[in-house]
Structure 1
Amino acid sequence: MIGLLLASIARIATGVLINLVAMPFVHAGGTIQFKNFVSQLHSADGEFVQHQIKATDGSASQELRQPVRTSMSTSSGTFQFIRPGKFIWAYQKPYKQLLHSDGHTLYIWDKDLNQVITLSLSNALGTSPAAILFGSDKLEKNFSLHDTGVKQSCDWLKLIPKEKNTQFEYIDIGFQDGNLKMMELHDVFGNITLLSFSNIHKNPELSADTFKFLMPQGVDIINN
């Protein structure tokens, strides 16, 4: 009796295993990967490369006007964040500039100009790309999300700001196996900012003290 029972269990287990192997892989689109990224990633650090592409008007005709895009600059650096609102976005090449938020105030430090600009974070984030990466998980309040298929081995989605008074027309985000890989920021003037991400560490132990901004001595401070 015990032998028959074990044999029956073995047949059932084998059948379940065969069915699991035969099941098709359910591929998650860009929107699902994005929502998982926002909800499951509470902190991160990594590296980025940024390409700035400027649009110039290629035609005098308003109706036939087609923007001609010319690559203008490339920069790179590192980032760290703890959601919501604490982040350090540090440009290292070709010049040093720091965007530093303690969760309440955004500090923009231009080392070459010896200048720090301060902004209220609530006003600075809004529907900006920083709100997507570093803000809360309530993004659908500010953006409409749409899957746009596969490109460059990534699953892409498009975020369209619901507010009309924003500098960005739309933002494309590419994920690969749940990992953030690229962002394309399209502003209302036809300019494009391309961001690629690498060496992202998910949910590292980052201290809140890391995001306390220490005002450099002797800088000009501009409060906005």
Structure 2
Amino acid sequence: MRSCLFKTVYTLLLAAIPFLAQATALDQLKNFSTNARSARGEFSQAQVKTGEKIRFTNTTSGTFLFSRPGKFIWTYSKPYEQVLQADGTRLYMYDKDLNQVTIKKLGDALGSSPAAILFGSNNLEKSFSLKNIGAHNGYEWVEVVPKTKDTPFEKINIGMKDGLPQAMELYDSLGQLTLIKFTKFTKNPPVNAGTFRFVVPKGADVFEN
């Protein structure tokens, strides 16, 4: 019986391989949005300056953890320690050096932002226009354009590989480009809901918008 079960699973996996190989970036992104209930990993982020040669400035790095819908912890560890944390209702922005916390309603802060793509609901087409834009730098890319004009980003390109977002190119309204790359991306790890409850650090100044 075990042998038959193994052969059945093996056959199903073989049948799925051609589909996975042919999946477009948009297919991969929609599948990720639908099936990734949670994820964790590391990121690096930098502004891209173009000219005679490409330069990277304002480089930062850290870790992320999310659970849909609207719960996440985005932690900058270098060069400065800062935390963006959402509990599904409110967004907390904590600057460790200033010992300062700013609180916003999550709906207003998330909206059509890049965070909504990874951490929001799985209905991407409600807030964004999506299209495949081909392959480069080892990824298949999908262009994501916010449908609302009340956003600092004109468009976001997402690089997909093996069914996971591996990179994001953020183009803002001032013509600046920010590149984010993801590593050690783990899909659907077990996450305790209490993890996202923000505790205001002792003595911190709190500002609520």
Specify the TM-score bucket, using the shorter chain as the normaliser: 0.7 to 0.9
Map of 2:178 onto structure 1: 193
User: What are the within-5 Å matches in structure 2 for residues 92-111 of structure 1?
Assistant: 92-111=77-96
Q: Give the drift of 1:114.
A: 1.1
Q: Give the drift of 1:70.
A: 5.5
Alpha-carbon distance between aligned partners in 2 of 1:178 and 1:95, rounded to the nearest angstrom: 31
User: What are the within-5 Å matches in structure 2 for residues 7-18 of structure 1?
Assistant: none
Distance 1:54 1:111, change over 3 A: farther
Match of 2:171, SS state, is strand
Map of 2:187 onto structure 1: 202
User: What are the within-5 Å matches in structure 2 for residues 123-142 of structure 1?
Assistant: 123-142=108-127
Alpha-carbon distance between aligned partners in 2 of 1:71 and 1:54, rounded to the nearest angstrom: 6
TM-score by length of 1: 0.81
User: What are the within-5 Å matches in structure 2 for residues 57-206 of structure 1?
Assistant: 71-206=56-191
**162-171 or 25-34, larger mean C-alpha shift:** 25-34
User: What are the within-5 Å matches in structure 2 for residues 11-26 of structure 1?
Assistant: none
Alpha-carbon distance between aligned partners in 2 of 1:134 and 1:213, rounded to the nearest angstrom: 17
Alpha-carbon distance between aligned partners in 2 of 1:202 and 1:49, rounded to the nearest angstrom: 18
Q: Give the drift of 1:72.
A: 2.4
| Structure 2 counterpart of 1:194, one-letter code | L
TM-score by length of 2: 0.87
Alpha-carbon distance between aligned partners in 1 of 2:54 and 2:108, rounded to the nearest angstrom: 30
Alpha-carbon distance between aligned partners in 1 of 2:127 and 2:188, rounded to the nearest angstrom: 25
Map of 2:47 onto structure 1: 52
Match of 1:92, SS state, is strand
Map of 2:36 onto structure 1: 41
Answer whether contact 1:86 1:101 (CA < 8 A) is retained: yes
Match of 1:137, SS state, is coil
Q: Give the drift of 1:182.
A: 0.4
Larger radius of gyration: 1
Unaligned runs of 5+ in 2: 1-10
Q: Give the drift of 1:126.
A: 0.5
| Structure 1 counterpart of 2:123, one-letter code | K
Match of 1:205, SS state, is coil
> Sequence identity of aligned pairs in percent?
51
Alpha-carbon distance between aligned partners in 2 of 1:86 and 1:109, rounded to the nearest angstrom: 16
Match of 2:23, SS state, is coil
Runs of 4+ off more than 4 Å: 23-26
Unaligned runs of 5+ in 1: 1-16, 59-67
Match of 1:217, SS state, is coil
Q: Give the drift of 1:192.
A: 1.1
Map of 2:8 onto structure 1: none
Q: Would you say how many aligned residue pairs link Structure 1 and Structure 2?
A: 194
Deviation per residue, 1:149-174 (Å, 9 max, x gap) = 01111110000111122110000000
Alpha-carbon distance between aligned partners in 1 of 2:36 and 2:99, rounded to the nearest angstrom: 34
